[in-house]
């Protein structure tokens, strides 16, 4: 069996998106897919699904909502910090409506690189992802 002639190259920046809203997840996927070099390699809507996806894909970047269908984004971040070798040490950013100072401080303690408020920082998140593309 031969490889396809026009196989798509692997994305330079592999992203796992953890978001419980199907509408927002779909919109983010569309926006990120428009960026050359970015590939959404997995999506999850709950903590367990996120951990499975992160372990299987070992992405470069995880975009994590804090409020999930079951579990929480903080639970995902705790596991990423506690078991970095299991998940490949992805960079992590939070995209959430819950940006109170104590929550942001906890996210920072858990190794979050940036915190983006869903209410008004979508463009900043997209800019951040674009700047994270290697090369």
Q: What are phi and psi of 23, to 5 degrees?
A: -65, -50
CA distance 1 to 21: 40
DSSP letter at 34 equals T
Domain positions in the chain are 19-130
pLDDT band at 1 (very low <50, low <70, confident <90, very high): very low
Both structure tokens of 110: 């858990």
pLDDT reading at 4 higher than 70: no
Mean pLDDT across the stretch 75-101? Answer: 96
Q: Which residue has the higher pLDDT, 135 or 113?
A: 113
The gap between the terminal CA atoms of the chain, to the nearest Å, is 33
What mean pLDDT is predicted for residues 32-40?
96
pTM score of the predicted model: 0.93
Cβ 93 vs Cβ 118: under 8 Å: no
**Would you say residue 125 has pLDDT above 60?**
yes
To the nearest whole number, what is the mean pLDDT of the chain? 94
Mean pLDDT of 8-28: 93
CATH topology of domain 19-130: Rossmann fold (3.40.50)
Per DSSP bridges, beta strands 91-96 and 114-117 are: parallel
CA angle 68, 69, 71 (to 5 degrees): 65
Token pair for residue 68? 């999930």
């Amino acid at each position: 069996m031969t490889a396809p002639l026009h196989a798509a190259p692997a994305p330079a920046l592999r992203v796992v998106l953890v978001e419980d809203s199907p509408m927002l997840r779909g919109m983010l996927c569309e926006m990120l897919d428009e960026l050359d070099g970015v590939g959404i390699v997995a999506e999850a809507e709950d903590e367990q699904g996120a951990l499975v996806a992160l372990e299987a894909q070992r992405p470069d970047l995880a975009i994590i909502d804090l409020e999930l269908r079951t579990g929480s984004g903080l639970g995902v971040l705790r596991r990423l910090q506690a078991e970095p070798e299991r998940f490949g040490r992805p960079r992590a950013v939070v995209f959430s409506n819950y940006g109170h100072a104590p929550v942001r401080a906890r996210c920072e303690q858990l190794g979050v690189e940036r915190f983006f408020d869903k209410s008004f920082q979508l463009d900043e998140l997209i800019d951040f992802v674009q700047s994270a593309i290697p090369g």
